[in-house]
Amino acid sequence: MTPIDPGALHQRWVHSHEEDRGGEQVFRPASHAFPPSRGRRALDLRPDGTYVESAPGPTDRPEEAGGTWKLAGGALELSASGGATQKLEVVSADPDRLVIRT
């Protein structure tokens, strides 16, 4: 497995659910031309090690949460300000496409 460059992750990633396959989720840069959707999850991975995650809430309006992130052994670890940690396996990371397995 090729090591992931953490610098390649520093941007706002938006879930491109149309491209998901077999337990893998595809994220594209926010500048990508997405088809219309009621709402999309987004991860803004910042160079200072913080992140902001947004997802559609109960009324379809985006709700945000944040915390810190790091890349550890091929996994993206998101530690929320409230204490919970998510580990997402990074399958591949290119400037225009991030694929994770949850």
CATH number reported for the structural domain that contains residue 63 in this entry: 2.40.128.300
Q: Is residue 34 part of a domain?
A: yes
Residue 1 has a pLDDT of 55
Q: What is the pLDDT along the chain (102 residues), one digit of tens a residue?
A: 567 888 889 999 999 999 999 999 999 999 999 999 888 999 999 999 999 999 988 887 888 999 999 998 889 999 998 889 999 999 999 999 999 997
At residue 2, the pLDDT reads 67
In a domain, residue 39? The reply is yes
| Predicted pLDDT at 6 | 84
Task: Give the 3-state DSSP-derived string for the chain, with helices as H, strands as E and coil as C.
Answer: CCCCCHHHHCCEEEECHHHCECCEEEEEECCCCCCCCCCCCEEEECCCCEEEEEEECCCCCEEEEEEEEEEECCEEEEEECCCCEEEEEEEEEECCEEEEEC
- Look at residue 73 in the predicted model and tell me its pLDDT: 85
Number of domains in the chain: 1
For residues 2 and 29, give the distance between their C-alpha atoms in angstroms, rounded to a whole number. 21
Does some domain include residue 31? yes
Does a structural domain hold residue 50? yes
In a domain, 3, yes or no: no
Residue range(s) defining the domain that contains residue 53: 10-101
